[in-house]
Amino acid sequence: MKYKVEYKDLGIRDYKEIWDYQTEIFDKLVCSKKADNTGIVPGGERLPGVLIFVEHPHVYTLGKSGSEDNLMLDYIQLKAKDASFYRIDRGGDITYHGPGQIVGYPIFDLDAINVGLKEYIYRIEEAIIRTIAESGLTASRFEGGTGVWLDPGIAGKARKICAIGVRASRYVTMHGFAFNVNTNLEYFNYINPCGFTDKGVTSLEKELGVKQNFESVKDRVKKYLEDIFDLEIINQ
């Protein structure tokens, strides 16, 4: 049976606003499982998952295991760059979100999909890898880390195109992925992305040499997530 998911394309929205919104949905799904761990609410229906696509104004986020030493800007410099900073409750280290980047927040009940957290992350990576392949590029995973990379095994050439960081409780997920499409990569110069000091960051626009049709790329990512997770998208 397909997993029902509400799809919400929220355009450009403030990071804290969407973090709070995610948390509200996440808490509701977790609470629905506390009594009997099924996620079935009175009336016999399972609460649907939610898939959020959004762009954020310039913001740096630091995961719970990350180090603030990986941010090379102080408060005044952040303001000068029109950027904000949040320490948040996902895994991973520091990353950047900004315009031209597809940020995806799948709030899914993994019990309903019948996958573990490792497989869940693998499937998100696979959706991005397949999306990138449609542009004629070969992307892959990096052994020992999450996300999607180009040339991950070549010293001095490895560059990340999509970061992934999640939080899970009772097999309900939140946070997600950040896929660089037409992203201003200058903002990555002020951090050690995901804690790495010897690897680069890239985007579809940089690799292909031309600005991408953002909505078209977004549609492809959504399609592959729908296929790979066997979703039934509702309330579009």
Show which residues are catalytic. Answer: 194
Q: Which amino acid is at 190?
A: Y
Long-range contacts of 143-150 (CB under 8 A, 24+ apart): 145/194, 145/196, 146/92, 146/121, 147/177, 147/194, 148/179, 150/202, 150/207
Q: Which amino acid is at 1?
A: M
Tally of CA atoms within 13 A in the half-sphere of 221 that contains its CB: 28
Does residue 207 sit in helix, strand or coil? Answer: helix
**Cα–Cα distance measured from residue 139 to residue 131, given in angstroms and rounded to the nearest whole number:** 9
Q: Among candidates 217, 155, 135, which has minimal Cα distance to 182?
A: 217
* Angle, CA 54 vertex, CA 180 and CA 48 arms, to 5°: 120
**Cα–Cα distance measured from residue 222 to residue 138, given in angstroms and rounded to the nearest whole number:** 19
